[in-house]
Amino acid sequence: MNQPKKIKRTDNNSLQIIWNDESVSQITLQNLRDKCPCVSCQGETVLFSSYIPIKSPFKAAGFYEIEKIEPVGNYAVQITWKDKHNTGIYSWDYLRELGKES
């Protein structure tokens, strides 16, 4: 399984991930937050019923700023944003995909 060796914030508002295969992903904080995988950000479908969140044009202070990053088991990280949003769990596979987009 490909896991990060190091995750750090860069000076240009990005998250840099150095993977154990020595490849590097760079993900902008805006893309990371806009693609937050939690239900309140992305919605969900359960038994033919869908919940689609309403996107507010208003962005709270700290919306695109990371307060802290914490490991979740051996498969993901949980990011707490400065506006206190923290329900997104970013798996290693999901971070890899986001790194390919940036």
CB of 76 within 8 A of CB of 86? no
pLDDT of residue 4: 95
For residues 76-93, give the mean pLDDT: 96
Q: Mind listing the pLDDT tens digit for each residue in 17-64?
A: 999 999 999 999 999 999 999 988 887 777 777 767 667 677 878 899
Please say whether the structural domain 4-53+64-101 has been given the CATH code 3.40.50.620: no
Percent of the chain with pLDDT over 70: 91
Instruction: Determine the pLDDT at residue 51.
Output: 63
Of the candidates 62, 60, 61, 42, the one whose C-alpha atom is nearest the C-alpha of residue 52 is: 42
